[in-house]
Amino acid sequence: MSKLFIPLATLLLTLSHSHAEIRQTSVWWLPRNVNMFGHEIDFIFYVILWITGITAVAVFSVMIYFIVKYRARPGVPAIHSHGNNTLEVIWTTIPVFIFLALAIYGNEQWTRMRLRTPPADALPVAVVGEQFGWNVRYPGPDGKLAKMTAAKVSKENPFGIDPQDPDGHDDFTTYGELVFPVGRPVRLYLSSKDVIHAFYVPEFRLYQDMVPGRVYDFVWFKAEATGYFQLACNQLCGQGHYKMFGKLSVVPEPEYEAWAKGKAPAATASSESSSTPVAVAGR
Ligand code: CUA
């Protein structure tokens, strides 16, 4: 049985042709980064990797050397050491400064990504998770999304909007399909209909939990390159968690405009559920 597993798994993976770009290079390493914020995240990842890597090699080398050098030998008495204060001070002070530097840098990047107000010209896009798919809402020609209210999110009204909201009349929705213009900031409005899901795009270095009862309006990004990616749910949310992914494309702005123009405006909240297919569209 176990002998069959790998060929079978390979076959299944080959058959389930996915929309996302297939990684030909760095399969064992990070996927490419296309988000403006990703450079700093990758930078601090490599800094930590180098610091911990060098420390691990140094510590284990010294340890192995001492194990061999001071091994028990007949006739050689053990040395009783009471420690060395100078060494203790040095190897406590250095890590303190390293940790402080990492914390300050990390905090600064987090502030930049999540605590500052997203740019005013950002494209607002609402994404509401459900078992097991993604409701997506885009603004129409007015560039404005209907206001989302967490308390109003329901099965029939996944975006928690007021049907009378004039900003919402030209909005359009998709299910599991996301298209973003390259080089333009996108501001997300994230929520969930049922359980905790998570918006996760590895190529964006972007991860945000979506807890029902909340609307997260502080997540934004700017894609710097075009491509096809996968939006993956990254919180175990039920039996269908493994197939909860969305097709995500980053395209040139005119291509985005053309795509958006071809979408019909969303109906009002009451009839919206009829446009929601049961399974993830496309696969
Ligand atoms: Cu939604 Cu896992």
Instruction: Assess if residue 4 is contained within a domain.
Output: no
Instruction: Assess if residue 17 is contained within a domain.
Output: no
Query: Could you tell me which residues come within 8 angstroms of residue 45 by beta carbon, excluding any fewer than 6 positions away?
Result: 30
Instruction: Assess if residue 92 is contained within a domain.
Output: yes
Give the CA diameter of the chain.
Answer: 92
Report the pLDDT value the prediction gives residue 186, as an integer from 0 to 100: 96
* Nearest alpha carbon, ligand 1 atom 1: 197
End-to-end CA distance of the chain: 28
149 and 182 within one domain:
yes
Instruction: Assess if residue 5 is contained within a domain.
Output: no
Rounded to the nearest angstrom, the distance between the alpha carbon of 178 and the centre of ligand 1 is: 17
265-to-14, 171, 180 alpha-carbon distances in Å: 37, 5, 18
Report the pLDDT value the prediction gives residue 281, as an integer from 0 to 100: 42
**Rounded CA separation 37/81 (Å):** 50
199 and 167 within one domain:
yes
Instruction: Assess if residue 255 is contained within a domain.
Output: yes
Rounded to the nearest angstrom, the distance between the alpha carbon of 89 and the centre of ligand 1 is: 47
CATH of the domain at 239: 2.60.40.420
Is 232's C-beta closer than 6 angstroms to any atom of ligand 1?
Answer: no
**Rounded CA separation 36/113 (Å):** 10
136 and 248 within one domain:
yes
Domain termination site, one of 65, 99, 115? 115
* Residue 199 belongs to domain spanning: 123-274
Is 210's C-beta closer than 6 angstroms to any atom of ligand 1?
Answer: no
253 and 157 within one domain:
yes
Report the pLDDT value the prediction gives residue 269, as an integer from 0 to 100: 45
154 and 98 within one domain:
no
Tokens of 198: 């998570």
Select from 220, 175, 218 the least CA-distant residue to 201. Answer: 220
CATH of the domain at 74: 1.10.287.90
173 and 99 within one domain:
no
**Rounded CA separation 31/203 (Å):** 6
Is 114's C-beta closer than 6 angstroms to any atom of ligand 1?
Answer: no
260 and 132 within one domain:
yes
123-to-41, 104, 174, 266 alpha-carbon distances in Å: 23, 30, 16, 17
Domain termination site, one of 115, 138, 156? 115
Instruction: Assess if residue 19 is contained within a domain.
Output: no
131 and 270 within one domain:
yes
Select from 169, 237, 160 the least CA-distant residue to 197. Answer: 237
What total of structural domains would you count in the chain?
2
85 and 61 within one domain:
yes
Instruction: Assess if residue 97 is contained within a domain.
Output: yes
pTM for the structure as a whole: 0.78
Select from 175, 170, 209 the least CA-distant residue to 192. Answer: 209
Atom of ligand 1 nearest to the CA of 129: 1
233 and 99 within one domain:
no
Select from 275, 263, 153, 158 the least CA-distant residue to 213. Answer: 153
Count CA atoms closer than 13 A to 272's CA, side-chain side.
27
175 and 140 within one domain:
yes
Residue for token digits 């502030």?
111
Instruction: Assess if residue 3 is contained within a domain.
Output: no
Domain termination site, one of 115, 140, 155? 115
Per-residue confidence of the chain (283 residues) as pLDDT tens digits?
A: 456 666 665 555 544 445 666 666 667 888 899 999 999 999 999 999 999 999 999 999 999 999 999 898 998 888 888 889 999 999 999 999 999 999 999 999 999 988 888 888 899 999 999 999 999 999 988 888 988 988 888 888 889 888 888 888 888 999 999 999 999 999 999 999 999 999 999 999 999 999 999 999 999 999 999 999 999 999 999 999 999 989 999 999 999 999 998 887 765 544 444 444 444 444 3
189 and 245 within one domain:
yes
Select from 163, 162, 155, 152 the least CA-distant residue to 135. Answer: 155
Atom of ligand 1 nearest to the CA of 241: 2
